[in-house]
Amino acid sequence: GAGVSQTPSNKVTEKGKYVELRCDPISGHTALYWYRQSLGQGPEFLIYFQGTGAADDSGLPNDRFFAVRPEGSVSTLKIQRTERGDSAVYLCASSSGAGGVADTQYFGPGTRLTVL
């Protein structure tokens, strides 16, 4: 595709429910990143995939958060037992993976999650 796409664009859920957020990276990009952005804050790193494997999941806040990328393309961020504090915009980014730390990350439009 032309850019990183994320679905849904908005998700409203009730406290305690389970949600899945999807990210479709730029075609051919091997690296994929999830961030969370709260109002008035910068993006906060959650997890980074290189291919199918999570290369760094040190940003996941607790075990309610989990992400997968089974075929090395689309990724799903899964949040169990949602809490009001999980409300934020969840951003996905992808990069070619070829340049290592010099890789440019291209961000998607984000999914705005609201937990009531």
Partner 1 sequence: GQQVMQIPQYQHVQEGEDFTTYCNSSTTLSNIQWYKQRPGGHPVFLIQLVKSGEVKKQKRLTFQFGEAKKNSSLHITATQTTDVGTYFCAGRNYGGSQGNLIFGKGTKLSVKP
Using rule CB under 8 A, residue 100 touches partner 1: yes
Using rule CB under 8 A, residue 42 touches partner 1: yes
Among 21, 88, 110, 113, binds partner 1 (CB under 8 A): 110
Residues in contact with partner 1, total (CB under 8 A)?
29
Q: How far is the CB of 14 from partner 1 (least distance, A)?
A: 26
Which residues in 61-90 contact partner 1 (CB under 8 A)? none
Q: How many CA atoms lie within 13 A of 16 on its CB side?
A: 0
3-state per-residue secondary structure call for the chain = CCCCEEECCEEEECCCCCEEEEEECCCCCCEEEEEEECCCCCCEEEEEEECCEEEECCCCCCCCEEEECCCCCCEEEEECCCCHHHCEEEEEEEECCCCHHHCCCEECCCEEEEEC
Measured from the CB atom, is 1 or 14 closer to partner 1?
Answer: 1
Among 23, 31, 88, 115, binds partner 1 (CB under 8 A): 31
| Interacting residues toward partner 1 by CB under 8 A | 31, 33, 35, 40-45, 47-48, 50, 55-56, 58-59, 91, 95, 100-110
